[in-house]
Amino acid sequence: MSTFPAYPTSRPRRLRTNQNIRALLQETRLSISDLICPIFVRHDSEKRPVQSMPGQYQHTLQSIVDEVKKVEQLGLKAIMLFGIPEKKDPEGSDNLSPNGIATKAIQIIKKTCPDLLVISDLCLCDYSDHGHCCIIDPANKTYLNEPTLEYLAKAAVIHAQAGADMLAPSGMMDGTVKAIRHRLDETGFTNTSIMCHSSKYASVLYGPFREAAECTIQFGDRKTYQIDPPNAREALKEMHIDIAEGADILMVKPASFYLDIIRQAHDNFETPIAAYQVSGEYSMIHAAADKGWLDLKSTTLESLMAIKRAGAQNIVTYFAKEAAQWIS
């Protein structure tokens, strides 16, 4: 490390004297194009507010039209879509249907805003009645890896056929990227990219999402397929494997509690790194702001800047629309 001359020769405060100097020397810059806006959609006559996530809604196939128009008008380039089917079953059948909620929503969004990048979530948890991210053996309630890969490969093609630009598998099953990439390539979707939730931790911060996506688990937990929070090298191993299997973008999830993982991913891989500022992060900031303990705008922007500074190239955040207005 360089040795700097001491005071009074060195006066670092000179370069913090006013806003123009600080802006000139800003090391990390947050831009609208960094942000990805999550959207929930369901079959219904009216959009429903998500009680634990102020300002977030379960949209309908009608209200999603105005929503994506607003997203695009704000200058945002991408959304991440989560479908909530009318009926859920153990196999997550709606996600494999050309007439399922996700495929219908993708078609509507691409017709409304053709240039908007649609990243489609593939995870079984949104579509299954048990809430897990994988196919379950009903006899002993064990989690089945290989049948889940076949499910995800089929769902990937269905979503790509509907017009999804990018697929976001988040179930943390071994071999996910390989199964999806192989099936996409053999069916002609070689340009459909994969943003894999490569480092998805078994975190406490997903609670509000489970209300939004109606995917509370009915038994057990997700600790046998999501990463144990104390582990860092395990996350890097997962990312190594996903790159080898064909992942185009690696995701770290959650973001704020795992800034060290984002930094290690950035430093170790040339593959682009994304991070997901998850529902619990969003709700905590809102709760503190509602109490008057924190300023919503300042806290949000600082939290996003921290994620970007750690090394994330893109950030999935429920603050995307507000942040787009604040930084424009």
Which helix (H) or strand (E) segment is 136 a member of?
strand 135-137
Instruction: Report DSSP state, residue 228.
Output: P
- Map residue 143 onto helix, strand or coil: strand
Nearest CA among 181, 172, 179 for reference residue 199: 172
Task: Give me the catalytic one of 47, 88, 104, 253.
Answer: 253
Residue 3 CB coordination number (10 Å): 5
Question: Residue 183 pairs with which residues in a beta bridge?
Answer: none
Taking the C-alpha atoms of residue 113 and residue 126, their distance in angstroms, rounded to an integer, is: 24
Taking the C-alpha atoms of residue 179 and residue 183, their distance in angstroms, rounded to an integer, is: 6
Tokens of 150: 């076949």
Taking the C-alpha atoms of residue 281 and residue 203, their distance in angstroms, rounded to an integer, is: 11
User: 205 and 278 in contact (C-beta within 8 Å)?
Assistant: yes
Q: For tokens 């802006």, what's the residue? A: 23
Taking the C-alpha atoms of residue 13 and residue 193, their distance in angstroms, rounded to an integer, is: 45
User: 179 and 149 in contact (C-beta within 8 Å)?
Assistant: yes
Taking the C-alpha atoms of residue 290 and residue 295, their distance in angstroms, rounded to an integer, is: 9
Task: Give me the catalytic one of 200, 237, 297, 308.
Answer: 200
Tokens of 242: 């996903």
User: 227 and 248 in contact (C-beta within 8 Å)?
Assistant: no
CB-hemisphere CA count at 13 Å for 262? 26
Taking the C-alpha atoms of residue 54 and residue 64, their distance in angstroms, rounded to an integer, is: 18
Taking the C-alpha atoms of residue 229 and residue 140, their distance in angstroms, rounded to an integer, is: 27
308 labelled catalytic: no
141 labelled catalytic: no
Catalytic positions: 200, 253
